[in-house]
Amino acid sequence: MELAKQQLRFLCLIILAFLSADRLDGQVDTAEATENRVLHTVIEGPIGPATVHHVARVLEGSRNQPTSAVVFQLNTPGGLADATREIISEILLSPVPVITYVAPPGAHAASAGTYILYASHVAAMAPGTNLGAATPVAIGGLPGGLPGQPPDAADEKSDETEEGTSDDPLAPKDIMSAKATNDAAALIRSLAEMHDRNADWAESAVRQAESLSATQALELNVIDLMASDLHGLLRDADGRSVVMGETRETLKVSGLPVERIEMGTVTRILSILSNPNVALVLMMLGVYGLIFEFWNPGAVVPGVVGAICLTLGLYALNQLPLDYAGLALIGLGIAFMVAEAFSPSFGVLGLGGIIAFSLGAAMLVDTEVEAYRVSWWLIGVMAMVSASILAVLLGYTIQTYQRAPVTGANRMIGAPARVLDWSDGVGFVWVEGERWKADGNADLRPGQEVRVLGVDGLTLRVGPAMDKQSETGGGV
């Protein structure tokens, strides 16, 4: 018990250290900041909960020190809809101008990145970059994708697609998809109009999945600037007038010191945890740890580690767009496997649990964003691991049932005994350190080695040790 308390204290200290490190990361140089500066941070990879946390942290830092602008260097293939909308809200409510810069060359601002770029006060790209392809892939996914349809034609278009008369591969398949697309188109158009950018192309990026290079985007007024590096970006952005709520503000960023903000410790942890594959592995480690603890009460370490892993796994899943039917199937599968471990059913419950778990894992995350889908390879590996554990349990169960009884009257059958005294087919024998009343053949004699053939109450039936009937285990 004392060991468990020490382990819990140690884990709490580690968590507090991570939280303190993240706070310190966010406060670096704040006390020394006496003049205006530009905050610069890099956003790479899929847009998710960790990205929201990082953006909010950077913008909060801009409120705590003299800041003329914040530069988000963006390179993303897309991400989650809820996370994208939260970032847009953070940008629109920012007290300082936000410059989103798609860089370095070869980077892109696809899908979610296009919305973030349109929401920014200044939109810029490096040569050799591109943006667009904002078509939604699922309800609850990122907006975009209904080609050539005005917002007020949603119902008519959806009816047409239901009847199968539309030949456009990007057309929505049902009314809900049409509603999601129209909502997305309205959002990006409103962002474009807010910053005087090309609203028509923005809507076509949603409805027709169009993309543009940096040069084309500048020519069509989709972005404001094209710059080859950060210093060139700040030089060209200097003196521009940007919309800040209901007022306009002139940027003064040329020549200012640039402070780079790295992703904090807690944000990095959240980035790892928000991977659904990691969340699933943590959940299963937690479940197996708890099962092992229940099998071996007092082991402590499996229970502590399992509880922590299960908690982290559930927290990670809470950050993702879950399909609750998938989560219910995973829970049902785990319950069946636990039931198999404690109430052996010769594999019936275990096999059902593996099937339910695999189907639930495949359905778990309700998005078509590839980075936030559970890997089929991981599902297969977890199913194989579970099946292996089930096979071990099943083999152990079968061996247990085939093993000779160790308690009760049946364990006496076949045991060797020695006759103490005998007369007319009855007498007493010595078996397993005890004196028992016995009956059997009349020709037995004291001192003879015999074998127990059966048990009748408190009387044993015995016969000669080499008796064929004793070899077959017969008895009364």
Angle at 365 between CA 132 and CA 371, to 5 degrees: 45
Average pLDDT over residues 452-475: 68
Distance of CA 246 to the CA centre of its chain: 41
Q: What is the pTM for the complete model shown? A: 0.65
Q: How far is CA 56 from CA 38, 267, 281, 285, 445, in A?
A: 16, 11, 28, 32, 95
Least confident of 169-183, 246-260, 372-386: 169-183
pLDDT computed for residue 171 by the predictor: 56
Residue 442 has pLDDT above 90, yes or no: no
Using N-to-C axis directions, what is the helix angle for 276-295 and 324-342, rounded to 10°? Answer: 20
Average pLDDT over residues 211-240: 94
In whole angstroms, give the CA distance from residue 15 to residue 6: 14
pLDDT computed for residue 466 by the predictor: 65
Alpha carbon dihedral 121, 125, 131, 134, in 10-degree steps, equals -10
Average pLDDT over residues 144-148: 33
| Residue ranges per structural domain of the chain | 26-266, 275-402, 409-471
- Residue 434 sits at φ, ψ, to 5 deg, of -135, 155
Residue 128 has pLDDT above 90, yes or no: yes
Looking at the chain, the whole-number percentage of residues with pLDDT higher than 70 is 75
- H or E element: which one contains 426? strand 426-431
Mind listing the pLDDT tens digit for each residue in 382-420?
A: 878 877 777 776 666 666 666 665 556 667 777 888 989
Mind listing the pLDDT tens digit for each residue in 252-269?
A: 998 899 999 988 887 788
Relative to beta strand 434-439, strand 459-464 is parallel
pLDDT computed for residue 408 by the predictor: 62
What sections of 77-137 are H helices per DSSP? 81-92, 112-119
Residue 97 has pLDDT above 50, yes or no: yes
**Cis status of the peptide bond prior to 104, with omega within 30 of 0:** yes
Tell me if residue 217 falls in helix, strand or coil: helix
pLDDT band at residue 13, thresholds of 50, 70 and 90?
A: low
pLDDT computed for residue 406 by the predictor: 57
Q: Does domain 26-266 have CATH number 3.90.226.10?
A: yes
Type of residue found at 196 = D
Relative to beta strand 67-75, strand 98-102 is parallel
What sections of 209-300 are H helices per DSSP? 214-219, 230-237, 265-273, 276-295
Number of CB atoms found within 10 A of residue 277's CB: 17
322 pairs with which residues across the strands?
365
Average pLDDT over residues 357-380: 76
Burial of 163 per CB tally in 10 Å (0-12, 13-18, 19+): exposed
pLDDT computed for residue 139 by the predictor: 36
More confident residue, 108 or 349: 108
pLDDT computed for residue 182 by the predictor: 86
Among the listed residues 390, 389, 379, the one whose alpha carbon sits nearest the alpha carbon of residue 357: 379
More confident residue, 459 or 369: 459
Mind listing the pLDDT tens digit for each residue in 15-66?
A: 555 545 544 444 444 434 446 899 999 999 888 888 999 999 999 988 888 8
Among the listed residues 474, 430, 438, the one whose alpha carbon sits nearest the alpha carbon of residue 458: 438
Q: How far is CA 461 from CA 95, 215, 312, 475, in A?
A: 96, 101, 62, 7
In whole angstroms, give the CA distance from residue 307 to residue 46: 29
CB 132 within 8 A of CB 205: yes
DSSP 146: -
Structure tokens at 57: 């942290």
Angle at 385 between CA 379 and CA 389, to 5 degrees: 145
Least confident of 101-105, 150-154, 204-208: 150-154
Least confident of 155-169, 237-251, 285-299: 155-169
pLDDT computed for residue 402 by the predictor: 61
Structure tokens at 43: 């956003």
Average pLDDT over residues 306-318: 82
Domain 409-471 homologous superfamily, CATH: Nucleic acid-binding proteins (2.40.50.140)
Locate tokens 């409120």: which residue? 63
In whole angstroms, give the CA distance from residue 460 to residue 455: 5
More confident residue, 219 or 386: 219
Relative to beta strand 426-431, strand 434-439 is antiparallel
Average pLDDT over residues 227-241: 93
pLDDT computed for residue 342 by the predictor: 66
pLDDT computed for residue 356 by the predictor: 86
Return the CA Rg of the chain. 36
CB 134 within 8 A of CB 145: yes
pLDDT band at residue 473, thresholds of 50, 70 and 90?
A: very low
CB 344 within 8 A of CB 397: yes
DSSP 63: H
More confident residue, 271 or 184: 184
Looking at the chain, the whole-number percentage of residues with pLDDT higher than 90 is 29
In whole angstroms, give the CA distance from residue 153 to residue 178: 9
Residue 179 has pLDDT above 90, yes or no: no
pLDDT computed for residue 475 by the predictor: 42
Mean pLDDT computed over every residue of the chain: 78
pLDDT computed for residue 14 by the predictor: 54
Residue 427 has pLDDT above 60, yes or no: yes
